[in-house]
Chain A
Amino acid sequence: GAVVSQHPSRVICKSGTSVKIECRSLDFQATTMFWYRQFPKQSLMLMATSNEGSKATYEQGVEKDKFLINHASLTLSTLTVTSAHPEDSSFYICSASPGWGETQYFGPGTRLLVL
């Protein structure tokens, strides 16, 4: 149990385009999903907390207009990187939690490369 999927696993796009990444909890309902970003050889940095039916909570320094988050249902959250630039190239990982204070289960990650 506790499987989280992400799609796509890898995406290459041109600078200025927008990219949507989906995160799904496959066998449980997730009131809360989280979006992380990881640069090479660094830790996971929380970008935002996504709550079903409400606006996402962004961490300090994360541009909410650039990283649009939609948590449309209890099993799906999407992250859209708008007007992507090469510096947005990174590994994006989502996680989902069945409830408050419970273990987060991570998706496999999405490698974004912006040319």
Chain B
Amino acid sequence: DQQVKQNSPSLSVQEGRISILNCDYTNSMFDYFLWYKKYPAEGPTFLISISSIKDKNEDGRFTVFLNKSAKHLSLHIVPSQPGDSAVYFCAASATAGNTGKLIFGQGTTLQVKP
């Protein structure tokens, strides 16, 4: 049962353009969402998060949008840079359960072409 899904395994964009990575979830108890960036053979690096009380959170070139009714979130990177090329994972947590567990999506490989 895949509670967090990233249906696009890969995405290729041109440098300077916008990258949009999508994530869907099924568990309505999830109320905290995060995006991580990961390079091969390294641990994930935290990028940005959003609580379910918000529908948008912005940090520099990264913006995360949350649509609770659709159980969908997206990460926008603009402008995209070649250094953004990596695997991006979305993750979700149900903070009410106080376990702190994160459920990860399968990841989307982003390639930004110069």
Q: Tell me the A residues contacting B by CB distance below 8 Å.
A: 2, 4, 6, 32, 34, 42-46, 49, 57, 91, 93, 95, 97, 100-109, 111
The A interface is mostly helix, strand or loop, or mixed, namely: strand
* Chain B interface, number of residues (Cβ within 8 angstroms): 23
A100–B32 CA distance with the chains assembled, in angstroms: 12
Q: Is B16 an interface residue (CB 8 A)?
A: no
Whether the pair A104, B102 counts as a contact (CB closer than 8 A) is yes
Question: Which one of B32, B42, B98 has the highest number of Cβ atoms from chain A below 10 Å of its Cβ?
Answer: B42
Q: A44 with B89: in contact, given A101-B95, A106-B36 (CB under 8 Å)?
A: yes
Between A and B, 20 residue pairs with Cβ closer than 8 Å are A4-B43, A42-B106, A43-B89, A43-B104, A43-B107, A49-B100, A91-B41, A97-B100, A100-B95, A100-B98, A101-B95, A101-B100, A103-B34, A103-B46, A104-B34, A104-B102, A106-B46, A107-B43, A108-B43, A109-B43
Q: Is B61 an interface residue (CB 8 A)?
A: no
Question: Nearest residue in B to A31 (C-beta to C-beta)?
Answer: B100
Q: Top 3 A-B pairs ranked by shortest CB distance?
A: A101-B95, A106-B43, A106-B44
Whether the pair A93, B98 counts as a contact (CB closer than 8 A) is no
Q: Is B54 an interface residue (CB 8 A)?
A: no
A4–B36 CA distance with the chains assembled, in angstroms: 15
Whether the pair A93, B32 counts as a contact (CB closer than 8 A) is no
A32–B102 CA distance with the chains assembled, in angstroms: 12
A45–B103 CA distance with the chains assembled, in angstroms: 8
